[in-house]
Structure 1
Amino acid sequence: MPQLALYTFGVLKSPLADPGPLTRELHDSGKAIYPEISRHPGYLARAEAADGGQGTHFDLDWGAWGEFAVPAWYGKGRTVETSALDATLSLWTDLRPAFDAIYTGLHREALNRRYDWFERTGHPSYVCWWVSDGVIPTWQDGVSRLEHLHDHGSAPHAFTFHHSFAPPSAVRRGNAL
């Protein structure tokens, strides 16, 4: 059965190394949000660094999730001192569980604050697509799908929750959000 891949990407207003209160708030919110989301029904997995996450996204070993990649429009740094991004890559059983996890609870509260932390880039901040059971999407898959969404809008190849598509070869089951 197909699974939903979800890639998120945001450009931060200040580098991750910034000791300011807004950066600390973002870090602190993530410490509570990730465990809550991982307990949500329908959650399968997310990209986590194999080496415990010491360094920047670019320096980490992501295992089967592949080498870390960013969209072409990301123009900030790639070092510990200059990196100013937040990205996630996850797998879900279906659209509805992913939507519910993102738009409820602690993550919903964080979304309400996103413009405190993130720049308004004019680019989409997330993209969904279907993968076959057992397939682990890569960071590069997420980037190429996000760029496709930006350039072409929602399509079966890359879509949003609000303009979603059924899994390939699946009969529409009323799962559009």
Structure 2
Amino acid sequence: MPHLALYTFGALKSPLADPAPLMREFHDSSEAIYRKIGRHSGYLARAQAAEGGQGTLFDLDWGEWGKFVVPDWYDKGRTPETIALAATLSLWTDLRPVFDALYTGLHRVALNRRYDWFERTQHPGYVFWWVPEGVKPTWQDGVSRLTHLHAHDSAPHAFTFQRPFDPEGTPTRLKDTGPRRDQVH
């Protein structure tokens, strides 16, 4: 059974190393969100650097998830003091569990504050695609799919919640989601 890959990317207003309260809030909420999502039904795995990894996101050993890369349009730093990005790469069983995990609870609260932390851009902030069971998507896969989505809109190769596709490439609909008041973007 295919699995759903999700890549998210955003350019932060301030570097991750910024000691200001706003970035501390972002860090604190991120850790709690990762823990909560990691226990969510339908969640399978996320890219994590090898234990004890030292260095920047770009230098870490990501194992099967591949070398850490970012979209070409990211023009901020790459050193520990200047990196200003947040990126995730994860695997899920289907769209519905992802929707539930992202648009409820702690992550929903964080989404409501995303413009406190992230720059507004003309680029999509996330992309989905289907992978065969047992295949780990790579950071490069995520960047390529996000770039494709930006250039071509949703397609079976790269899509969003608004225009999803099933594993066979047929347009589908996320069932039971008429936007509930607590889940509107």
Same fold (TM over 0.5): yes
Instruction: Note the alpha carbon deviations across 1:51-95, whole angstroms, 9 max, x for none.
Output: 345332101110000000100100001000110000000000001
- Counterpart CA distance in 2 for 1:9 and 1:165 is 21
Q: Which amino acid aligns with 1:159?
A: F
Determine the structure 2 residue equivalent to 1:14.
14
Three-state SS of the structure 2 residue aligned to 1:59 is coil
| Partner Cα separation in structure 2 for residue 94 and residue 166 of structure 1 | 9
Number of equivalences = 176
Task: Sort the Cα spacing of 1:174 and 1:127 in 2 relative to 1 into closer, same or farther, 3 A.
Answer: closer
Asked if the contact 2:164–2:172 (Cα under 8 Å) also holds between the matched residues in 1, the reply is: no
2:106: which partner in 1? Answer: 106
- State the match for 1:71 in structure 2: 71
For residues 3-32 of structure 1, what are the alpha-carbon distances to aligned partners after superposition, in whole Å with 9 as ceiling and x for unaligned? 000000000000011101111010000110
What residue number does 2:4 align with? 4
Gap runs ≥5 in structure 2:
178-185
In structure 1, runs of 5+ residues without a counterpart are: none
- TM-score, with length taken from structure 1: 0.95
Q: Tell me, what secondary structure is at the counterpart of 2:55?
A: coil
Q: Which residue of 1 aligns with 2:166?
A: 166
Q: Please give the per-residue CA displacement for 1:125-168, whole angstroms capped at 9, x wherever unaligned.
A: 00000000000000000000000000000000000011100112
Partner of residue 146, structure 2: 146
Distance 1:35 1:68 in 2: 22
Letter of the structure 2 residue corresponding to residue 103 of structure 1: Y
1:26-65 correspondence runs (5 A): 26-65=26-65
Distance between the aligned counterparts of 1:69 and 1:42, measured in 2?
26
Question: C-alpha distance in 1, partners of 2:159/2:78?
Answer: 28
Q: Kindly indicate whether the alpha-carbon contact (under 8 Å) linking 1:2 and 1:130 is maintained by their aligned counterparts in 2.
A: yes
Instruction: Please state if 1:91 is matched with 2:91.
Output: yes
Counterpart residue type for residue 148 of structure 1: H
Assess if the C-alpha contact under 8 Å between 1:166 and 1:175 holds in 2.
no
Aligned identity (percent) is 73
Counterpart secondary structure, 2:96: helix
Distance 1:43 1:55 in 2: 27
TM-score in terms of structure 2 length: 0.91
What CA distance in whole angstroms lies between the structure 1 residues aligned with 2:93 and 2:157?
17
| Counterparts of 1:144 and 1:172, CA distance in 2 | 21
Contact kept in structure 1, 2:163 and 2:171, CA below 8 Å: no
| Shift in alpha-carbon separation, 1:173–1:142, aligned structure 2, 3 A | closer
Residue 134 of structure 1 aligns to a residue in which SS?
A: coil
Contact (CA 8 Å) 1:16, 1:23: kept in 2 or not? Answer: yes
